[in-house]
Amino acid sequence: MTNIGILGTGNVARAVAAKAAEAGHDVVLGSRDPSGRKGLGLPVVSVGDAIDHGDIVVNATPGTESLALLTPFATPLRGKILLDIAVGLTADLGLAHPNSSIAEELQEALPGTSVVKTLCTMDATVMVDPGRLSGPSTVFLSGDDAGAKARVAELLGEFGWPEDSRTDLGGIGTARGQEHLALLFIGAAGALGSYVFNFRLVPDAPERAAERG
């Protein structure tokens, strides 16, 4: 069992919190207004208390607000894993971080924290129930700390993501690729008329790879 503090009380936060609790973890939700966010099925505490509670802290806050919200908590976040799901979008659904990513900014602002970017390339429904889709799909991980990524990968496995569906992209700089995929996601959702889908990496056929030597 892992203590998990989830920052946010929106659709993503509630979906991840419920799945993590179902998997047997000790989960709390962190809100800037905990007294006004009751009836969510799990304890709702302040942002600071959620950070103190979690060995893994999940950032499910709006990406345009995450840096300002989390930077004051650099000391209590030290030594923890920050699983970052946030994506920063402007009011007209453009990228708020077109030349970077919120994950990179968080890692720079929180050098004592291991930031791992994942789950931001899909809808909350798919994050915690990938098996509902018509076939296998891919979840990505980005981060500089291999041990932190391994712990997050274990949690993803508990969410229903088998090992062969999890792709480690590399360091935290690769998080911008995950976040920028939001533009493709929005376009694909419009084409499909649904947000319940995901992307899959499809490698070259083995025989073609062998031909390339």
Given a cut of 50, the residues of the chain with pLDDT beneath it are none
The pLDDT score that the predictor gives to residue 209 is 60
Q: Please provide the CATH number assigned to the domain covering 3-212.
A: 3.40.50.720
The pLDDT score that the predictor gives to residue 13 is 97
Task: Domain ranges for the chain, please list them.
Answer: 3-212
The pLDDT score that the predictor gives to residue 104 is 98
The pLDDT score that the predictor gives to residue 212 is 63
The pLDDT score that the predictor gives to residue 114 is 98
The pLDDT score that the predictor gives to residue 115 is 98
Residue-wise pLDDT tens digits, 82-136: 999 999 999 998 898 989 999 999 999 999 999 999 999 999 999 999 999 999 9
SS (H, E, C) the chain: CCEEEEECCCHHHHHHHHHHHHCCCEEEEEECCHHHCCCCCCCEEEHHHHHHHCCEEEECCCCCCHHHHHHHHHHHHCCCEEEECCCCECCCCCECCCCCCHHHHHHHHCCCCEEEEECCCCCHHHHCCHHHCCCCCCEEEECCCHHHHHHHHHHHHHCCCCHHHEEEEECHHHHHHHHHHHHHHHHHHHHHCCCCCCCCCCCCCHHHHHHHC
Nearest-angstrom CA–CA distance, 150 and 127: 17
